[in-house]
Amino acid sequence: MSLKETDSLVYGLVEKELEYQKKTLRLIASENYASKAVMEATGSILTNKYAEGYPNKRYYAGNRYVDEIELLAIERAKKLFKVGHANVQPHSGSSANIAAFFAFLEVGDKFMGLDLPHGGHLTHGSSVNFSGKWFNATSYSVSKETEALDYDEIRKKAIEEKPKLIICGYTAYPLIIDFKAFREICDEVGAVMMADISHIAGLIAGGAYPSPAMADVITTTTHKTLRGPRGAMILGPEENAKRIDKAVFPGTQGGPLENVICAKAVCFHEAMQPEFKGYAAQIVKNAKVLADELVASGLRLVAGKTETHLVLLDLTPKGITGKDAQMALEEAGIITNRNTIPFDTRSPFITSGLRIGTAATTTRGMKESEMKEIASMIVKVIENPNDSELKLKTRSNVEELCKRFQVY
């Protein structure tokens, strides 16, 4: 029986979400639209399979075709990111990071990551997360003057702290990361170089962002800019294959989600097509135009610009919190997320910042002219967050824009 026949309540909610996604502007930097092929694979009969272990070395029988699919996903990931090894089993970015830690660290070991309010992730050392509870986390930050990474200061900190592992790759950093500089710092202090490219994986695959292939371990989600299913993987040189694989299974996970791994294989195939390079480049072009328009309208950008898929706004000069801006924009059909900014004086629940991403709107086919249109709507709502009539009019304009660029 179909979902509609089996559970009409859930079916109705899914249909409402579909309409919501069609009629709103998805500007959350970690969201995208997966293709129908990716969604078909995710909902395939592979949902029925249990396949603990790895291809040709399972703890269950009956995995002949599952093995072929997972091996295909592995080979495609290796080719796409130009690495010697790929583990496609991690369920999420956090799961991948847990496994990476377990592969290279012992509980209590010291590591360095970017401070959360400065653009790092919870799993990069936050005190409320496993990374801060199980390991000795020390953080580096961006420069107060430039709001950019200061590699000399990071090097000094690394020499002083002597961490066993250093993380680069972030969740809210709008500039290009100098991966070679991190490689040199890690080599100097004898640290493992870990690159978390969850946000920029699609840009890297499409050639719109430098590759961190020189890292000892690379973790990433497979959605966001890579436009695949919700999941993750771990990449690295062949020499680190065994320790990475053991850390995933049996170290931190049991049965892999073979339906999602199947969808990852499809996603990697899509990212290998020539048009994906154009897509990745357009994401960055759109973000830069959006950023320029917002600045021209009087808004302040953290670091003054973007070189990636995301724009980080500092709303302090406008006298509105990130939370209030997010809520007002949502009422107008523009979906964003509040975000801390470097040296933020507000709590992570309130924030002084707003994070905006262009991956999903680019998937819909929007380009530079639409970014200008979107920027204008964002500015008007942020400057008049309590104007109900304006928000209603903006929502109507958003729906008209979305009609011109259909998804699904």
| Residues noted as catalytic | 50, 52, 196, 221, 224, 230
Q: What is the DSSP string of 69-133?
A: HHHHHHHHHHHHHT-SEEE---SSHHHHHHHHHHHH--TT-EEEEE-GGGT--GGGT-TTSHHHH
Q: Tokens 């320029």 label which residue?
A: 292
Half-sphere exposure of 383 (CA within 13 A, CB side): 11
Task: Please answer whether residues 142 and 119 qualify as being in contact, where contact means their C-beta atoms are separated by less than 8 angstroms.
Answer: yes
Integer Cα distance of 50 and 257 in angstroms = 8
Sign of the Cα pseudo-torsion (292, 293, 296, 302, in order):
negative
Q: 57-58 and 53-54: which strand pairing?
A: antiparallel
Structure tokens at 347: 């709590």
Q: Strand runs (DSSP E) across 252-378, as ranges? A: 300-301, 310-314, 334-335, 337-339, 353-357
